Structures are given as structure tokens and as C-alpha cells.
Amino acid sequence: MTIKRLMNRLLLEPGDVPASRADFEVVSVFNPGAVRRPDGEVVLLVRVAERPRERRTGYTGLPRWDPDSGLTIDWVPDLELERLDPRVVRRKADGLVRLTFTSHLRVVLCGSGRAARNIMDATFRPQGELEEFGVEDPRITPLNGRFYFTYVAVSRHGPASALASTHDFRRFERHGVVFCPENKDVVLFPEKLGGAYAALHRPVCGTPFTRPELWVATSPDLIHWGAHAPLAVSGGEW
């Protein structure tokens, strides 16, 4: 199968998108969910990664979303951390990792899909403990007259897959975690199959019996998922 590249122009750069607060800076805009509305407008839900601007000698600022105070920063002594890469540090005391940035989702209108014509104020921000380290990597599917999107909710409990929906990309309704940690890259099918909703998902095995695989699951209501099975793919690994 041959895939044709439609364009080479960059849609967005970090400097195009404002940070959540003046004391934060956007470091990446990537992994968008994309959908075409009935009026022909292409809408993106873009993952926006940001980090604290401030630098403190001997400390690393680790951002998180607090249910009471919103976006906050934990300043941790460098001596207590092992830096794995620019994005991730490991706490020496317990071996657990933290992110050096946090992510939220921003709505971008793209007209026919070839240019980011309007970066909207509408954002989908983390809420609650299960999203304290950010929301990431949306996948959008039109269903039942609404736009449903899965996303990764990152927290002290690990990366889980949650579900939300919107009618107008201005107001969002959360439907909760639908695949527990560690599971990512969930995408809904755009219509029922055999009377049930269906989704592809990617469970990540902590014990290396296998490489990551693509699985399929079904649901009567988009919330409760079962009949999980690995997807047989001919011609190589996924």
C-alpha cells in the first residue's frame, strides 16, 4: 500500500501556542486528534506540553495539577533525582518517575486542514488525581451526533485511557477512565459492529513476555469494555 503525502508545511510550532500561565513555557505541540466537522472545518485537539520557566540552582521543578490550586510546581533537590532524559526523572528514594512537563489539549481550527487558521481559547485541562500529571494524545471519533475522544490520563497511578465528548469543542463532558493503566492509544470505531461499540487499544506489558500488541474490545455503552482479544496482523509486528 502506498500512502501519498498531501503537504509538507508545518501546521504549528511551540511559539504559536500560549502557555497556561506566564511563568510556564510551551516546549512541544504534537500528537493531535483530528476530525472534520459537518461544515467541512478540520478541527484539531493538540497536545500542548509546557514546563516552568523558572530555574533554581540545585532543584528541578516538577509540575502537576492540583484539584484545589490548579497548576503547581514541586521543587525537588537534584540530589534526590536521577535524570533519565529531558522529559523524565526518577526518584532515588522509591524508583518512581515524574515528568518535567505537563500537558493539556487545545482546540485549533484548520479550515480545509492545510493551515492552522485559529488557535482557540478552548482548552481541555487536567482535573482530579487521575490526571494530575497531564492529559495527552487524543483520538477523536464522531458518534451519535457528538465528537467522542479518548485521551491518556497520566498520574501517580500510571497512564490510563479516559473518554470525553463534546458537541462544539467549547464545552467538554468527561466520561471517566475506560481502560486502566497501563493502556494507551485507544481509538473508537465510528459505528457499531454487530450491535456493539468497538475500540482498538494497546496494553503495555510490565513483564516482557511480549512486545506491545494491538488489541480489540467491545462495549454496549462506550463505558464498560470487554471481549478483549489481540488483533491478528499478517505480515509483521504492530
Q: How confident is the model at residue 205 (pLDDT cuts 50, 70, 90)?
A: confident
Taking residues 219-230, report their average pLDDT. Answer: 97
Mean pLDDT of the chain: 94
Please report the pLDDT score of residue 194 as a whole number: 94
pLDDT of residue 73: 97
The per-residue DSSP string of the chain comes to -------------GGGS--SSTTEEEEEEEEEEEEE-TTS-EEEEEEEEEEES---TTEEEEEEEETTTEEEEEEEEGGGEEEEETTEEEETTT--EEESSEEEEEEEE-TTTTS--EEEEEEE---SGGGTTEEEEEEEEEETTEEEEEEEEEETTEEEEEEEEESSSSSEEEEEEEEPSSEEEEEE-SS-BTTBEEEEEEE--SSTTS----EEEEESSSSS-EEEEEPP-TTS--
- pLDDT bracket for residue 231 (50, 70, 90): confident
Question: pTM, whole model, 2 decimals?
Answer: 0.94
Q: What is the pLDDT of residue 90?
A: 98
User: Does pLDDT of 236 surpass 70?
Assistant: no
What is the per-residue pLDDT across 12-54, written as a single tens digit (0 to 9) for each? Answer: 999 999 999 999 999 999 999 999 999 999 999 999 999 999 9
Question: Which domains are present in the chain?
Answer: 14-230 (2.115.10.20)
The alpha carbon torsion through 25, 125, 147, 189 (nearest 10 deg) reads 80
**According to the model, what pLDDT value does residue 7 have?**
80
Residue 232 has a pLDDT of 75
Model confidence over 114-173: pLDDT tens digits? 999 999 999 999 999 999 999 999 999 999 999 999 999 999 999 999 999 999 999 999
Averaged pLDDT for residues 2-19: 89
